[in-house]
Amino acid sequence: MGGAIEIAEYDSAWPGAYERERAAILEALGDLAFDIEHVGSTSVPGLGAKPIIDIMIGVRTIANGECCVEPLERLDYEYKGEAGIPGRLYFRKLIDGLRTHHIHLVEHGCDFWERHLLFRDYLRRHPQEVRQYQALKARLAAQYGDDRIGYTEAKTEYIESAVAKARAARDAAGGER
């Protein structure tokens, strides 16, 4: 399904693509969207990625998330339910048959929210980790071919380690994120 995993070189157009989509989402959702963040590899300058913009929308309660389904479908997002992750509502957008955007809609401040921001911000602050993660992703993409689940699971140890380091640094500094 979907062919071999493609890790594209970093594209400086990704942040602009996120900002355009963020504006459309904010217009569609209004106050239902408590916060919106660009997450995933396309949110880290210099990091190669599957060329899909990952967007995380924080809502006050998951019940508010259910109210977001129809407005997001009007923006051409396909609603996929929790898609295996309890507490997350998942959407994807396809243009000309290719995935271009993913939305992860969760309660603002939940563990999913925190972990994604810790990982993104950790990579943004540590260029050597970006290089290491890039090499890992390239190796795993070649190893797993079109097995997206295997590819994702194989990255878990690295991601968990980075999140733990980020959380420890944050806690030692006594601050948020």
**pLDDT 10s per residue in the chain (177 long)?**
468 898 999 999 999 999 999 999 999 999 999 999 999 999 999 999 999 999 999 999 998 888 999 999 999 999 999 999 999 999 999 999 889 999 999 999 999 999 999 999 999 999 999 999 999 999 999 999 999 999 999 999 999 999 999 999 989 988 665
Q: How many domains does the chain have?
A: 1
In a domain, 133, yes or no: yes
The count of other CB atoms within 10 Å of the CB of residue 57 is 26
The 3-state secondary structure of 50-107 reads CCCEEEEEEECCHHHHHCCHHHHHHCCEEECCCCCCCCCEEEEEEECCEEEEEEEEEE
In a domain, 177, yes or no: no
pLDDT value of position 173: 87
In a domain, 176, yes or no: no
pLDDT value of position 68: 97
pTM: 0.93
Rounded to whole angstroms, the Cα distance separating 101 from 148 reads 16
Strands, sheet with 77-79, edge to edge from the N-terminal-most edge strand = 35-39, 53-59, 98-107, 89-95, 77-79
In a domain, 58, yes or no: yes
Q: Which residues pair with 104 in a beta bridge?
A: 56, 90
134, two tokens: 């890039």
Q: Which CATH number characterizes residue 65's domain?
A: 3.30.460.10
In a domain, 9, yes or no: no
In a domain, 46, yes or no: yes
In a domain, 140, yes or no: yes
Give the domain extent around 122.
14-171
pLDDT value of position 1: 46
In a domain, 3, yes or no: no
pLDDT value of position 2: 62
